[in-house]
Chains A and B, each alone.
Chain A
Amino acid sequence: MQPVSTNNSSVGVVSPQIAHFDTALTLKSGAVLPSYDLVYETYGTLNSDQSNAILVCHALSGNHHVAGLHAPEDKKPGWWDNMIGPGKPVDTNRFFVIGVNNLGGCHGSTGPASINPTTGQAFGSSFPLVTVEDWVESQALLADRLGIRQFAAIMGGSLGGMQVLHWSISYPERVRNCLVIASAPKLTAQNIAFNDVARQAILTDPDFHGGDFYAHHTHPRRGLRLARMLGHITYLSDDVMGSKFGRILRGSSFNYGYDVEFEIESYLRYQGDKFADSFDANTYLLMTKALDYFDPTHHHPEASLSAALKPALADFLVISFTTDWRFAPERSREIVKALLDNERNVSYAEIVSGHGHDAFLMPDAHYHALVRAYMERVAT
């Protein structure tokens, strides 16, 4: 792909590509996908010895569109456009960056809304649960296809960070550097609880139809909207909500009813609506479940993260954010401790930010300077 530059620091207009796989993939659950598609985007140029490739793993509601625009008139660029581009912390003048939509996603890769070739109907409830491990497997197959034996770096935030961790364990020879940002080695009971409330909102929506809502030409909009509203609360900090919205009213006085009165209500409903219009409910269920399941120590003989990370060979940069209570700094420190126990090269930074979990997507100067400095090391 030859991106057309719209400005100096953007990768410009990009188009997604599709990699079709005809070899069956056996998932962690035991289910088998006989064939599947992965949708991905690339930015920059792969060098002749294939040593400058960077894989970006997406979070819960993310996709392959990491940087640039799909059309010159697009208002919103890719989700990590402030991080990735020419001259940006992850400099596409030096690196070949790959964004991929995970299996089970709803942005082109094979997922619950895709047509099952054997039935001619959408997979719906028959689409198997996929895990972080399955995603890493499929990403490795995509890397094979692109001729990338070893990544210069694999990076991701939140659920993306979990994929990075698994890469380091599962394919230690295939990754030189790992950037694990606003992530955790596994979810806490509180995290799982939030996820389940979100799932219940979807599962109990009358339009859900057991996951086969496609056949009914509807979708569980209300449930998905509620799930996103709840999720959104947990991605922000109390401080940022307070400073952005406080108790500001839309009108001049209380209405003594249940319509939107406070600005925060308006904001959350808007975010929920927007999300419900663009995201697939089954994908949301599946991605939250993948989050819940991820635990490198599960079934590990020593049940310790240090033991689980023993195979890792990569160098690490681990970053957390002070007001992130969904993936708190303590969780990142668990990862750091396990890496220290294994004497890995690791640096850890705790960024002061008021933005909660969402901070990893924000253009904070210090955060970006750190990633930029680390990427200098990756490049040499």
Chain B
Amino acid sequence: MTRHDFQIISDWIQPNARVLDLGCGDGNLLKYLQNARQVRGYGVELADKNVLACVQNGVNVIQRDLEAGLAEFASDTFDYVVLSQTLQAMHHTEAIMREMLRVAREGIVTFPNFGYWKNRVQVLRGNMPVSPDIPYQWYNTPNVHLCTMHDFEALCDKLNIHIRERIVMTGGKRVSFLRNLTGSLAFYRFERNG
């Protein structure tokens, strides 16, 4: 993730909030949020080297497989739960979306937009897309559920999730025109309906 990505997420988070960062990687986002927003939080991460990096980064990390749910975390204990660039690599997509809004008031998700025109062109040419946001070949990708913005919004509808805000970026710059076509990276902020 770039500083731009951190900035967008940070702008959505109130100071002193309680934040859970799922698939937190090396903990850099949480570290950024601790400094910029004085948040209190935890990262959840599976990979050993990332767990170590989190401890080195001075952020709390809980080693756990997100696919197994978030049993350690009681309901309604966070202000925000972040799932950054991880949704597309999850098998149990619906389950994690439900878990997110069980433990937190608001969810923030970012994912590479499969509807981005360059991705579409690659598919039209007969290849699976490879791009800075989807930097894998079809045979070594951790991504199992790539989706477009339309797809994601349809899932939110199905799960009775209210989308509060959406931001789309391409190459570190925000785009606002025909977003599902021109945006390579999608940011969503959502909450339970009603």
Contacts and interface: CB of A to CB of B under 8 A. Distances in A.
Nearest to B40: A343
A251 B54 CA distance: 51
A337 B77 CA distance: 12
Interface stretch (B58-66, B112-120, B140-148, B172-180): B58-66
Contact of A347 (B48, B62, B73, B77): B62
B52 A336 contact: no
Contact of A343 (B18, B48, B61, B63): B18
B61 A337 contact: no
A371 to B, nearest CB: 9
A289 interface: no
Contacts of A350: 63
Contacts of A352: 48
B80 interface: no
Contacts of A349: 48, 51, 55, 61, 63
B72 A373 contact: no
B55 A347 contact: yes
Interface in B51-94: 51-52, 54-56, 58, 60-64, 71-74, 77
A333 interface: yes
A366 B60 contact: no
A370 B62 contact: no
B42 A340 contact: yes
Given A333-B72, A340-B74, A374 B61 contact: no
User: Which residue, A345, A348, A376, has most C-beta atoms of chain B within 10 A?
Assistant: A348
A346 B40 contact: no
A351 B77 CA distance: 27
Nearest to B18: A343
B192 to A, nearest CB: 21
A239 interface: no
Contacts of B52: 366, 369-370, 373
A190 B81 CA distance: 38
Interface string A330-356: 000100110011010111111110000
A350 B74 CA distance: 21
A348 B63 contact: yes
Main secondary structure of the interface of B (DSSP, over half): mixed
Contacts of B77: 340-341, 343
A347 B54 contact: yes
Given A333-B72, A340-B42, A341-B74, A346 B62 contact: yes
Contacts of B72: 333, 336-337, 340
Interface residues of A, number: 22
A194 B73 CA distance: 32
B110 to A, nearest CB: 24
A377 interface: yes
Contacts of A343: 18, 40, 77
Contacts of A377: 55, 58
Contacts of A348: 61-64
B27 to A, nearest CB: 10
B63 A373 contact: no
A66 B64 CA distance: 31
B19 to A, nearest CB: 12
Interface in B1-28: 18
A223 B182 CA distance: 76
Nearest to B57: A373
A366 B48 contact: yes
Interface string A180-194: 000000000000000
A181 B56 CA distance: 18
A63 to B, nearest CB: 29
Given A352-B48, A366-B48, A373 B55 contact: yes
Nearest to B51: A349
A351 B52 CA distance: 11
Contacts of A317: 55
Contacts of A337: 71-72
Nearest to B27: A347
Nearest to A336: B72
Nearest to A333: B72
B60 A345 contact: yes
A379 to B, nearest CB: 12
Contacts of B62: 336, 340, 346-348
Contacts of B54: 347
Nearest to B53: A373
What are the nearest 10 A-B pairs in CB distance?
A373-B55, A337-B72, A373-B56, A348-B62, A350-B63, A349-B63, A347-B61, A347-B60, A349-B51, A345-B60
Given A345-B60, A350-B63, 6 more contacts: A336-B62, A336-B72, A341-B74, A366-B48, A370-B52, A377-B55
Interface of B: 18, 40, 42, 48, 51-52, 54-56, 58, 60-64, 71-74, 77
Interface of A: 317, 333, 336-337, 340-341, 343, 345-352, 366, 369-370, 373-374, 376-377
16 contacts: A317-B55, A336-B72, A340-B74, A341-B74, A343-B18, A343-B40, A345-B60, A346-B62, A347-B54, A348-B64, A349-B55, A349-B61, A349-B63, A352-B48, A373-B52, A374-B55
